[in-house]
Amino acid sequence: MQFCEECGSLMHANGAEMVCSSCGARTAKDETEAAKYVSTEKQIFDDVIETTEDAADEGMPTAAETCEDCGNDRAWYTIKQTGAADEPPTRFFKCTECGYRWRDYG
């Protein structure tokens, strides 16, 4: 693997040069090192589910949970281990109607 000296992202081979996947920086491919590199298919992001707070909620599972704010009976949820390994995970909910957020510590 070769990483970009400009931004640190992974570079990929493009003919006789290496190209940064993020910033587009280019550098000549060192042919003596070329035998060490393994080519892979380009990564696709079709199966990635966004989990940032501003991401769309499509694709997230729903649960039968009652919203404290509007009384709706469905909520999207994610589960994260926020405590020690011997503690139950935390469930984060977002109402499918009003967007109200809450958590359940199990």
How many Cβ atoms are within 10 Å of 20's Cβ, its own excluded? 20
In this prediction, residue 51 has a pLDDT band, given cuts at 50, 70 and 90, of low
Cβ proximity of 7 and 16 under 8 Å: no
Q: What is the mean pLDDT of residues 40-59?
A: 60
Q: What is the mean pLDDT of residues 13-28?
A: 85
- Residue ranges of the domains in the chain? 1-43, 62-104
Whose structure tokens read 């359940």? 104
Is 104 considered catalytic here? no
- Top CATH class of 62-104 equals mainly beta
- Catalytically annotated residue among 46, 53, 54, 86: 86
Dist. CA 40–CA 50, nearest whole Å: 24
Per-residue model confidence (pLDDT) at position 53: 60
- Catalytically annotated residue among 17, 50, 87, 97: 87
Is 46 considered catalytic here? no
pTM of this prediction? Answer: 0.46
